Amino acid sequence: MATGLSRLIPCLAGQNTFLTRHRRPTKQSIYCSYSCLSSQFKRQYTSVMIVPTGIGAAIGGFAGDALPVARALSTVVDCLITHPNVLNAAMLYWPMPNALYVEGYALDRFAEGLWALQPVHQNKVGLVLDAGIEEELRIRQLQAADAARASLGLPVLEYTVTDLPLKVEKWVDPASGRSTGRIENPDSLLRAVQTLVNRSRVNAIAVIGRFPDDDIDDVDDYRQGMGIDLLAGVEAVISHLVVKEFQIPCAHAPALSPFPLSLSLSPKSAAEELGYTFLPCVLAGLSNAPQYLVKSSESMERSCILASDVDSVILPRDACGGDGALAFARSRKNEPLIITVEENETVLDDTPDKLGLEVLQVSNYWEAIGVIAAHKTGIDPFSLRRNKVHNIQCTSVLVNGSSFARETTFS
């Protein structure tokens, strides 16, 4: 007779690896060994990748230049949670079935444990156009939406135009050095979104705002792969406004006049030079972005993803001061491994030692992905390095209930 797990747990036919066949005169049974089932006893490994927008990140501060990192990371983890700044590349994007496209405000609320993420098969996407967009440029945006519907099958249902021009303003915050801004008529944007939600029952929103055309000298550094993205900060302001009010996925694509041809363009910025619109990546991301639910017992019943499910967080070393990063680092329940990348420099100076955070510092994303691969497997990453495993030590108890910050360097 069959013994052990092979006796107790049948395996699906067609999975030939590790199968044990037990033949009897009257019928054939297929059983599975323990090796076939071992992966079923581990929960999915979830990682969050953060590159804050508008802070001049060396990787992720331009036109989708952090997307290769996300693609590589998605092949190592079971679930990758990241935000539009990482996945958007203007006319370019890359489908990753296990990547969740989560707007920055929602990602912060998720990290704080206030919201849950509910994966979906498909969203109904509505499109809001700024009344300040000129007719020809508006037609270009709508043609891009139609192309996404016809060629990619994306569920973009309807569009509306704001009743007033949004009047986007942008500037650089002198205190932090990051880009930011505002829209003069935020209520007009919210009315347009409300119209689409009520009339078409959409549950994801793409916004196209008319941005002021810059003097070419103002964006020359960015086109050369240096400096900061002057548009990114206020784009985040726009999407935050919609997500906070309606609790549905939202992302923004700017409407701009095309720049004159440059013969010395950085590859990191080149995705934004391919056409008249940045809309395709936004529509692709929103088409299956997870929905946001206020955390409750219902969230658990719907098998949503919670902050406590996150196993690791990866972000630039000097950009640890955001709400989401701090929430993950200070989590008291299932504290994730926080990995900071030294090579991805930004204009900020929010380092772990200044904030009292315990992190694992690595030099680059190559190392970060290796650390995550080891962590997922249950292996101490330091055991993969030369002379990094030392004799086990006895640690002292906490004094007066307080602990201390520690920054471990993976080098």
CATH of residue 47: 3.40.50
Instruction: Mark whether 33 and 58 lie in a shared domain.
Output: no
Q: Does residue 300 fall inside a structural domain?
A: no
**Residue range 299-321, pLDDT digits in tens:** 566 689 999 999 999 999 999 99
Alpha carbons 52 and 315: distance in angstroms, whole number: 8
- Please say whether the beta carbons of 4 and 20 come within 8 A: no
Name which of 11-25, 28-42, 200-214, 311-325 the model is least confident about: 11-25
Look up the domain containing 264 and give its range: 120-289
CA distance 65 to 58: 9
**Residue 131 confidence (pLDDT) above 80:** yes
Q: Are residues 206 and 80 in the same domain?
A: no
CB 127 within 8 A of CB 159: yes
Instruction: Please tell me whether residues 333 and 316 are part of one structural domain.
Output: yes
| 171 and 97 co-located in one domain | no
| Number of residues that this document lists for the chain | 411
Does 294 reside within a domain?
Answer: no
Domain match, 267 and 330 both = no
**Cα three-residue angle 76-407-356, rounded to 5 degrees:** 115
Does the structure show a pLDDT above 80 at 57? yes
Question: Whole-angstrom Cα distance, residue 219 to residue 309?
Answer: 40
Quick one: 35 and 152 in the same domain? no
Report residue 40: phi and psi, to 5°: -75, -15
Residue 132 near residue 257, CB atoms below 8 Å: no
Q: Which of 141, 407, 394 is nearest to 275 (CA)?
A: 141
Which tokens go with 294?
């206020």
Query: Which is more confident, 162 or 391?
Result: 162
Q: What is the pLDDT of residues 343-388, one digit of tens each?
A: 999 999 999 999 999 999 999 999 999 999 999 999 998 888 888 7
Contact call for residues 382 and 374 (beta carbons, < 8 A): no
326-335: pLDDT as tens digits:
999 998 878 8
Residues 240 and 131 in one domain: yes
Q: Is the pLDDT of residue 1 over 90?
A: no
Which of 34-38, 66-70, 251-255, 371-375 bottoms out in mean pLDDT, i.e. has the lowest?
Answer: 34-38
Mean pLDDT of 243-251: 97
96 and 187 fall within a common domain: no
Q: Domain ends where: 289, 323, 339? A: 289
Query: Count of CB atoms within 10 A of residue 72's CB?
Result: 13
- The two three-digit tokens of residue 131, written as one number: 């009344």
- Is residue 272 domain-shared with residue 199, that is, in the same domain? yes
215 found inside a domain? yes
Task: Please check whether residues 94 and 166 belong to one and the same domain.
Answer: no
Please tell me the total count of domains within the chain.
3
- Residue at 233 is within a domain: yes
| 82 found inside a domain | yes
| CA 32/CA 8 separation, integer angstroms | 9
Residues 330 and 198 in one domain: no
Could you tell me if residue 295 is inside a domain?
no
134 with 249, same domain: the answer is yes
| Count of CB atoms situated within 10 Å of the CB of 137 | 19
Q: What percent of the chain shows pLDDT beyond 70?
A: 83
In the block, tokens 């006796």 appear at: 7
Phi, psi of 129 (to 5 degrees): -105, 135
pTM of this structure:
0.84
Nearest C-alpha neighbor of 58 from the set 47, 48, 69 = 69
Q: What is the 3-state secondary structure (H, E, C) of the chain?
A: CCCHHHHHCECCCCCCCCEEEEECCCCEEEEECHHHHHHHHCCCCEEEECCCCCCCCCCCCCCCCCHHHHHHHHCCCCEEEECHHHHCECCECCCCCCEEECCHHHHHHHHCCCEEEECCCCCCEEEEECCCCCHHHHHHHHHHHHHHHHHHCCCEEEEEECCCCCCEEEEECCCCCCEEEEECCHHHHHHHHHHHHHHHCCCEEEEEEECCCCCHHHCHHHHCCCCCCCCHHHHHHHHHHHHHHHCCCEEEEEECCCCCCCCCCCCCCHHHHCCCCCHHHHHHHHHCCCEEEECCHHHHHCCCECHHHEEEEEEECCECCCHHHHHHHCCCCCCCEEEEECCCCCCCCECHHHHCCCEEEECCHHHHHHHHHHHHHCCCHHHHCCCCCCCCCCCCCCECCECCCCEEECC
pLDDT (tens digit per residue) in 152-204: 999 999 999 999 999 999 999 998 899 999 999 999 999 999 999 999 999 99
